[in-house]
């Protein structure tokens, strides 16, 4: 087998004593479902597999390894995995006929939640690996290649991030000028509808030094905008460079010092964890983009209580007022669930009223999906599907109106745009507004990675059109 060497500082701490690695002889196809954290995890798994000799491919038929990075949040999301596995069964059989192997792995939150059950339902699956053990992937694969079926869903005692290799600089450059960086994982909140505390475990915050080192690598590879990720990102509290405990606000100030990093964001936040320091960061830190995803789920106090959200509707509205007082151009986004058990028409009306009061720039809304093992699934008064459908339609119509209104309010204004990638149409490039909308500009307006001043000329369905100001 051909061997090639890699630079020592291109591999993570765990790979310290790894000086040679096999040339990319095998191919891996990774499919990602669910939230941004899974997008980040898929990249880190791809990085770990690169050291193990697997090159990423977009062609599933060519893959020696297929990895599905799955989501368990709603039933529909979880069931997608099984329909995908159905399709893969045929591909695997075809490859077997041609004498080629195709290992099939299930990672992510379905893996953590269902474990060995996945292999029982879909015997073609060779390995199941939960989010806490991705750094063990190469070892797990070695066993799987020798024919063993593996289920790896323990919560690892070691710090996975310490052991996951860093990607090469060239790979980071290829990934573009915006990046995700997970700073916090897991959740201790136990909202009664939600699987995350069970699939991702309890809250863990990465230390500042680790986060800064990763952000510096990103900046060095040309990344201009970093989004800090966590299931409960504003509950992040990590060991600082001074060994004191820091909160997210302080971390943001520190990251803003890194040369090249012009824009910072964080997601997803819980209203209970928006502390004064974080609100002050919105006031005092220009690099922190004026956009905040702050889910509330419902506008009814009764339902908020049943959901175990641990605040009332008016607490949320007061908080929004404080955040807007700190940064008046901040745009808000949220998540909503309709049809939680016991939700009456009056409860739903309270949600509509809260949406009117806040006036969102964008939002996600979902029909309640009972999840196995969560308290909500056991509650009486489950709401009929038809009622959920009808409420969802009304809520989405209102949210869409607000989103379009927000877009239209920007026409004629001059704003900063980070140029991100070539446009779908020739002669165009696509940028990103401070509020996360795609901004279509002439390709000569600037280079990818530039932040330019543009004037918004019109709105598209979900995008803005602009010319150089
Ligand atoms: N940590 C975040 C949410 C993560 S899950 C928070 O606390 O807000 C993302 C979104 O999925 C949630 O905000 C919620 O709106 C939705 N969601 C979670 N569980 C759900 C369920 N069982 N049914 C429907 N939607 C759900
Ligand atoms: Fe789920 Fe978010 Fe509640 Fe945690 S805070 S249980 S992730 S909805
Ligand atoms: Fe889904 Fe897991 Fe994210 S359940 S939303 S992939 S944390």
Structure-block tokens of residue 395: 């809520």
d(CA 374, CA 105): 26
Res. 8: pLDDT tops 60? no
Give the pLDDT confidence of 337-392 residue by residue, as tens digits.
999 999 999 999 999 999 999 999 999 999 999 999 999 999 999 999 999 999 99
DSSP code for 277:
H
- As a whole number, the mean pLDDT across the chain is 93
Whether residue 217 contacts residue 223, with contact meaning beta carbons closer than 8 Å, is answered with no
Phi-psi region of 323 (alpha: psi -120 to 50; beta: other; left: phi over 0): alpha
Percent of the chain with pLDDT over 90: 91
CB of 188 closer than 6 angstroms to any ligand 2 atom: no
Q: Please count the residues of the chain.
A: 469
Res. 322: pLDDT tops 50? yes
CB of 335 closer than 6 angstroms to any ligand 1 atom: yes
CB of 187 closer than 6 angstroms to any ligand 2 atom: yes
Going from the Cα of 398 to the center of ligand 1, the distance in angstroms, rounded, reads: 20
Structure-block tokens of residue 163: 């052991």
d(CA 331, CA 261): 21
Confidence of residue 18 (pLDDT cuts 50, 70, 90): very low
Question: What residue owns the CA closest to ligand 1's atom 8?
Answer: 295
Residue, of 13 and 39, whose pLDDT is higher: 39
- For the residues 83-101, what does the mean pLDDT come to? 95
d(CA 416, CA 54): 39
**Phi, psi at residue 399, to the nearest 5°?**
-65, -40
Res. 58: pLDDT tops 90? yes
**Cβ of 341: how many Cβ atoms within 10 Å?**
20
Ligand nearest to the CA of 376: 1
- C-alpha distances in angstroms, 214 versus 156, 165, 280? 22, 11, 25
- For the residues 325-336, what does the mean pLDDT come to? 98
d(CA 211, CA 183): 7
Res. 133: pLDDT tops 50? yes
Question: What residue owns the CA closest to ligand 2's atom 3?
Answer: 191
CB of 189 closer than 6 angstroms to any ligand 2 atom: yes
**Cβ of 46: how many Cβ atoms within 10 Å?**
17
Nearest of 376, 304, 306 to residue 73 by alpha carbon: 376
CA dihedral 448, 452, 454, 458 (to 10 degrees): 30
Cβ neighbors of 235 (< 8 A, separation 6 or more) are: 184, 188, 203, 205, 270, 273
Q: In a 10 Å sphere around its CB, with 0-12 CB exposed, 13-18 middle and 19+ buried, how is residue 118 labelled?
A: buried
Give the pLDDT confidence of 209-247 residue by residue, as tens digits.
999 999 999 999 999 999 999 999 999 999 999 999 999
* Enclosing H/E stretch for 70: strand 65-70
- For the residues 13-35, what does the mean pLDDT come to? 69
Confidence of residue 398 (pLDDT cuts 50, 70, 90): very high
CB of 391 closer than 6 angstroms to any ligand 3 atom: no
CB of 199 closer than 6 angstroms to any ligand 3 atom: yes
Distance of CA 270 to the CA centre of its chain: 15
pTM summary value: 0.94
CB of 253 closer than 6 angstroms to any ligand 1 atom: no
CB of 192 closer than 6 angstroms to any ligand 2 atom: no
Signed CA dihedral, 321, 360, 230, 187: sign only: positive
* Enclosing H/E stretch for 421: strand 414-422
Structure-block tokens of residue 78: 């979880």
DSSP code for 299:
S
CA atoms within 13 A on the CB side of 46: 23
d(CA 411, CA 457): 6
What is the reported pLDDT for 16?
Answer: 35
What is the reported pLDDT for 12?
Answer: 33
d(CA 252, CA 260): 14
What is the reported pLDDT for 22?
Answer: 55
Q: HEC profile for 310-377?
A: CCCHHHHHHHHHHHHHHCCCCEEEEEEEECCCCCCHHHHHHHHHHHHHHCCCEEEEEECCCCCCCHHH
Q: Pairing between strand 428-432 and 362-367? A: unpaired
Confidence of residue 101 (pLDDT cuts 50, 70, 90): very high
Angle at 299 (CA atoms; ends 293, 305), nearest 5 degrees: 100
Ligand nearest to the CA of 32: 3
Q: How many helices (H) and strands (E) does the chain have?
A: 16, 23
What is the reported pLDDT for 462?
Answer: 87
- For the residues 292-315, what does the mean pLDDT come to? 98
Res. 190: pLDDT tops 60? yes
Burial 182-193 (b: 16+ CB within 10 A, else e): bbbbbbebebbb
Res. 88: pLDDT tops 90? yes
Going from the Cα of 268 to the center of ligand 2, the distance in angstroms, rounded, reads: 9
In ligand 3, the atom with minimum distance to the C-alpha of 72 is 4
- For the residues 454-461, what does the mean pLDDT come to? 95
d(CA 359, CA 350): 14
What is the reported pLDDT for 24?
Answer: 66
CB of 180 closer than 6 angstroms to any ligand 1 atom: no
d(CA 395, CA 398): 5
Going from the Cα of 189 to the center of ligand 2, the distance in angstroms, rounded, reads: 6
Res. 9: pLDDT tops 50? no
Ligand nearest to the CA of 202: 2
Query: What are the start-end ranges of the H helices in 222-287?
Result: 248-256, 276-284
What is the reported pLDDT for 63?
Answer: 96
What is the reported pLDDT for 5?
Answer: 28
Confidence of residue 294 (pLDDT cuts 50, 70, 90): very high
CB of 337 closer than 6 angstroms to any ligand 1 atom: yes
Res. 1: pLDDT tops 80? no
Signed CA dihedral, 145, 146, 150, 156: sign only: negative
d(CA 312, CA 295): 13
Confidence of residue 11 (pLDDT cuts 50, 70, 90): very low
Res. 449: pLDDT tops 50? yes
Confidence of residue 155 (pLDDT cuts 50, 70, 90): confident
CB of 108 closer than 6 angstroms to any ligand 3 atom: yes
């Amino acid at each position: 087998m051909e061997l090639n060497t890699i630079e020592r500082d291109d591999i993570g701490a765990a790979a310290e004593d790894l000086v040679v690695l096999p040339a990319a002889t095998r191919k891996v196809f990774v499919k990602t479902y669910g939230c941004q954290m899974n997008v980040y995890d898929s990249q880190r798994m791809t990085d770990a597999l690169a050291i193990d000799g697997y090159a990423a491919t977009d062609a599933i038929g060519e893959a020696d390894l297929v990895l599905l990075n799955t989501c368990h949040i709603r039933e529909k999301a979880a069931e997608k995995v099984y329909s995908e596995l159905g399709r893969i069964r045929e591909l695997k059989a075809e490859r077997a006929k041609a004498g080629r192997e195709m290992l099939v792995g299930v990672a992510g939150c379905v893996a953590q939640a269902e474990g060995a059950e996945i292999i029982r339902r879909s015997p073609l699956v060779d390995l199941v690996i939960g989010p806490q053990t991705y750094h063990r992937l190469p070892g797990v694969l070695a066993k799987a290649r020798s024919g063993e079926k593996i289920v790896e869903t323990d919560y690892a005692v070691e710090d996975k991030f310490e052991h996951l290799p860093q990607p090469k600089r060239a790979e980071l450059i290829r990934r573009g000028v915006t990046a995700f960086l997970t700073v916090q994982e897991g959740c201790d909140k136990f909202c009664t509808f939600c699987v995350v505390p069970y699939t991702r475990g309890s809250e863990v915050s990465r230390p500042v030094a680790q986060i800064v080192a990763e952000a510096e690598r990103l900046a060095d590879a040309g990344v201009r905008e970093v989004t800090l990720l966590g299931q409960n990102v504003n509950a992040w509290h990590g060991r600082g460079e001074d060994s004191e405990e820091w909160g997210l606000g302080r971390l943001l100030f520190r990251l803003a010092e890194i040369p090249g990093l012009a824009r910072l964001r964080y997601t997803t936040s819980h209203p209970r964890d928006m502390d004064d320091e974080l609100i002050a960061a919105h006031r005092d830190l220009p690099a922190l983009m004026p956009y905040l995803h702050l889910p509330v789920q419902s506008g009814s106090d009764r339902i908020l209580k049943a959901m175990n959200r641990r605040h009332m509707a008016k607490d949320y509205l007061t908080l929004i007022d404080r955040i807007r007082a700190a940064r008046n151009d901040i745009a808000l986004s949220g998540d909503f669930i309709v049809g939680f058990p016991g939700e009456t028409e009056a409860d739903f009306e309270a949600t509509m009223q809260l949406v009117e009061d806040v006036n969102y720039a964008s939002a996600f809304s979902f029909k309640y999906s009972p999840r196995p093992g969560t308290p909500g699934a056991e509650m009486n008064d489950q709401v009929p599907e038809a009622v959920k459908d009808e409420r969802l339609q009304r809520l989405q119509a209102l949210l869409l109106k607000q989103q379009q209104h927000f877009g239209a309010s920007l026409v004629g204004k001059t704003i900063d745009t980070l140029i991100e990638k070539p446009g779908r149409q020739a002669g165009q490039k696509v940028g990103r507004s401070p509020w996360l909308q795609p901004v279509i500009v002439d390709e000569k307006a600037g280079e990818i990675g530039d932040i330019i001043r543009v004037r918004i000329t019109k709105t598209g369905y979900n995008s803005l059109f602009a010319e150089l100001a």
